[in-house]
């Protein structure tokens, strides 16, 4: 649809933390962390996610396919292969794709009755 | 007013989600998602928005005009042509203009009594 | 203190909105919008802010000095010359300095008992 | 793990403010401000943080080591050498490393029963 796909092939999110507890009906109000991936190219994006921790070696890659001209709002909670991401643990992530994509980071924190939301564009690089 | 208009002609927002429900007086406290557009140039900006989904083809372009030296805080809720954006659905957007603009993304989520607000600069590219 | 001052001379914040109402003790909990300015250079930064609206011509410049090696968390609520920024009104801003600075945008929205906070890095350009 | 480490060597966060009060169990719900640091390189990152204030000279450097292939979510509350950062005070920070890193800024504000969360990518420069 677009002349040139928009984005970069390498992204990083230095913040990561899936709260242990939630309030409200699942799955909408379950505490979660999301990487919103947008693929505006005409081919499927093969995406690899590597997860970094504070006290052990990185885990990954987690492999995801974002179809052509689609967005995928990927919950880190749902990643299970090679292993689930533990809750209540600091982590960070690097997201690499074989076509340009755009990545935005969002967390819903419903540990309290009044949920909190955060979002930011991820860090992109062409290197 | 400014020597050179500030911004880029292509922007993307990978996160998009209009909550289904709201608390508080409309329209101020209605759950909504906004693209804040700033046109610092001396000519009107012709803006085209393409909306991406997870499970169907993109929709658009939605056509908007931002007058010279004006800002427009555009609610995605208000887009109706070619079709309204469904609530409670993951989406993403690409925003293209014929002059440089600046784009910032904001959501007011008033599903709960205590509303949540998020914002981020959108992803810009010169390509 | 730093070899090279960090930042850019031109910044834009497309989102702007000072809520009309507040809960909690002033001034800490007063609804407000802030431009956090950081000047890491060895000379004072002469800063000019231009404010854009949706339905009338831009207002400004507002003139601010950020001393060398200082940060200033400037509340838009406090700008009065050439005129106060009206509450409950959409606006945007362009921030220009004569030395490189860094700009971050924050809002405290205390319209409800549970306040909401948002922040984002502003859009920077070297042009 | 990655071919090229991702990030930059100089970052700035113009917003900084550690709320004076908190609600909820410590340390999880203590009001805090965090710099999330990600080091994807194969060598430890020697990080220096300089803290800027509105009314006095900068303090620092605070020296931190982020091991190779690790993330560190550093609470500004925990910095004590050369001196603790006062609560309820506006500040800003510059973060410099000897290898590329990625920096994201987060604050948990639990002054009220309903906590507020904010995050943004920091400002990066290659200069």
| pLDDT tens for each residue of C87-118 | 999 999 999 999 999 999 988 777 766 667 88
Q: Dump the DSSP string for C53-80.
A: ESSS--EEEEEEEE-TTEEEEEEGGG--
Cα–Cα distance, A7 to A101 (Å, whole number):
5
Using an 8 Å Cβ cutoff, are C40 and C6 in contact? yes
Q: For residue B126, what pLDDT is reported?
A: 80
Indicate if the pLDDT at residue D2 is higher than 70. Answer: no
Dihedral angle, C-alpha B48, C87, C60, B64, nearest 10 °: 10
CB contact under 8 A, B94 and A40: yes
Indicate if the pLDDT at residue D65 is higher than 70. Answer: yes
| pLDDT tens for each residue of B19-50 | 887 777 778 777 788 999 999 999 999 999 99
Which residue of chain B is at minimal alpha-carbon distance from C96? Answer: B2
Q: Which residues of D18-43 are buried (b: 16+ CB within 10 A; e: fewer)?
A: bbeebeeeeeeebbbbbbbbbbbbee
Q: For residue B24, what pLDDT is reported?
A: 77
| pLDDT tens for each residue of D68-121 | 999 999 999 999 999 999 999 999 999 999 999 999 998 877 776 666 788 888
Q: Which of B1, B73, B117 sits opposite C118 (nearest CB)?
A: B117
Indicate if the pLDDT at residue C34 is higher than 60. Answer: yes
Token pair for residue A46?
A: 């093969």
Would the CA dihedral through D118, D71, A89, B54 be positive or negative? positive
CB contact under 8 A, A7 and B54: no
Q: State chain B's mean pLDDT as an integer.
A: 89
Q: State chain C's mean pLDDT as an integer.
A: 89
Q: For residue C126, what pLDDT is reported?
A: 80
CB contact under 8 A, B12 and A2: no
CB contact under 8 A, C14 and B70: no
Using an 8 Å Cβ cutoff, are C105 and C35 in contact? yes
Size (chain C), residues: 127
Q: Chain A partners of D6 at a C-beta cutoff of 8 Å? A: 10, 12, 94, 123, 125, 127
Cα–Cα distance, D26 to A15 (Å, whole number):
20
Q: For residue C24, what pLDDT is reported?
A: 76
Cα–Cα distance, C67 to C99 (Å, whole number):
11
CB contact under 8 A, A72 and B54: yes
pLDDT band at A114 (very low <50, low <70, confident <90, very high): low
Q: What percent of chain C has pLDDT over 90?
A: 66
Between chain A and chain B, how many beta carbons pairs sit less than 8 Å apart? Answer: 95
Using an 8 Å Cβ cutoff, are B92 and A36 in contact? yes
**Cβ neighbours, 10 Å, residue B29:** 15
Indicate if the pLDDT at residue C2 is higher than 60. Answer: no
Which residue of chain A is at minimal alpha-carbon distance from B106? Answer: A119
A2/A91: higher pLDDT: A91
Between chain C and chain D, how many beta carbons pairs sit less than 8 Å apart? Answer: 95
Which DSSP symbol is given to A76?
A: G
Touching partners of B (3+ C-beta pairs < 8 Å): A, C
Name the phi and psi angles at A78, rounded to 5: -90, -5
Mean pLDDT (whole number) for C41-64: 97
Per-residue HEC secondary structure of B17-36 comes to: CCCCCCCCCCCCCCCEEEEE
D40/B24: higher pLDDT: D40
Q: Dump the DSSP string for B28-81.
A: TTS-EEEEEEEE-SSS-EEEEEEEEESSS--EEEEEEEE-TTEEEEEEGGG--S
pLDDT band at D39 (very low <50, low <70, confident <90, very high): very high
Closest CA to A66 of A39, A91, A48: A39
In angstroms, what separates the C-alpha of A93 from chain B's closest C-alpha?
17
Q: For residue D113, what pLDDT is reported?
A: 63
Cα–Cα distance, A24 to C90 (Å, whole number):
32
| pLDDT tens for each residue of A47-88 | 999 999 999 999 999 999 999 999 999 999 999 999 999 999
Name the phi and psi angles at D78, rounded to 5: -90, -5
Inter-CA distances, D31 with A113, C101, D56, D113, Å: 17, 28, 24, 11
Indicate if the pLDDT at residue A4 is higher than 90. Answer: no
Q: Dump the DSSP string for D50-71.
A: EEEESSS--EEEEEEEE-TTEE
Closest CA to B108 of B119, B98, B117: B117
CB contact under 8 A, A102 and B123: yes
Token pair for residue A13?
A: 């999110």
Q: For residue D49, what pLDDT is reported?
A: 97
**Cβ neighbours, 10 Å, residue D88:** 10
Q: What percent of chain D has pLDDT over 90?
A: 65
Mean pLDDT (whole number) for B103-110: 84
Q: For residue A120, what pLDDT is reported?
A: 86
Q: Give the range among A88-102, B33-47, D8-22 with minimum mean pLDDT.
A: D8-22
Closest CA to C19 of C125, C93, C116, C95: C116
Q: Chain A partners of D4 at a C-beta cutoff of 8 Å? A: 127
Indicate if the pLDDT at residue A31 is higher than 60. Answer: yes
Q: Chain A partners of B123 at a C-beta cutoff of 8 Å? A: 6-7, 102, 104, 121, 124
Q: For residue B31, what pLDDT is reported?
A: 78
Using an 8 Å Cβ cutoff, are D16 and D90 in contact? yes
Close Cβ partners of C10 (under 8 Å, ≥ 6 residues apart): B6, C94, C95, C96, C124, C125, C126, C127
Indicate if the pLDDT at residue A110 is higher than 60. Answer: yes
Q: For residue A107, what pLDDT is reported?
A: 82
Three-point CA angle B40, A104, A91, nearest 5°: 140
D26/A90: higher pLDDT: A90
B2/C102: higher pLDDT: C102
Indicate if the pLDDT at residue C84 is higher than 90. Answer: yes
CB contact under 8 A, D127 and C24: no
D19/C45: higher pLDDT: C45
Touching partners of A (3+ C-beta pairs < 8 Å): B, D
CB contact under 8 A, D52 and C37: no
Which residue of chain D is at minimal alpha-carbon distance from A11? Answer: D6
Indicate if the pLDDT at residue B111 is higher than 80. Answer: no
Q: What percent of chain C has pLDDT over 70?
A: 94
CA C45 to chain centre: 14
Q: Which residue has the tokens 């506006």?
A: D90
Q: Chain C partners of B72 at a C-beta cutoff of 8 Å? A: 54, 90
Q: Chain D partners of A10 at a C-beta cutoff of 8 Å? A: 6
Which DSSP symbol is given to D82?
A: S
């Amino acid at each position: 649809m677009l002349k040139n796909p928009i984005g970069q092939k390498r992204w990083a999110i230095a913040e990561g933390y899936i709260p242990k507890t939630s309030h409200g009906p699942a799955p909408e109000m379950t505490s979660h962390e999301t990487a919103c991936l947008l693929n505006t190219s005409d081919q499927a994006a093969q995406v690899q996610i590597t997860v970094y921790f504070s006290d052990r070696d990185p885990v990954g890659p987690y492999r995801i396919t974002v179809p052509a001209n689609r967005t995928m709002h990927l919950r880190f909670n749902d990643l299970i292969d090679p292993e689930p991401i533990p809750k209540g643990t600091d982590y960070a992530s690097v997201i690499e794709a074989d076509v340009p994509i755009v990545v935005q980071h969002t967390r819903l924190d419903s540990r309290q009755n009044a949920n909190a939301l955060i979002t930011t564009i991820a860090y992109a690089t062409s290197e």
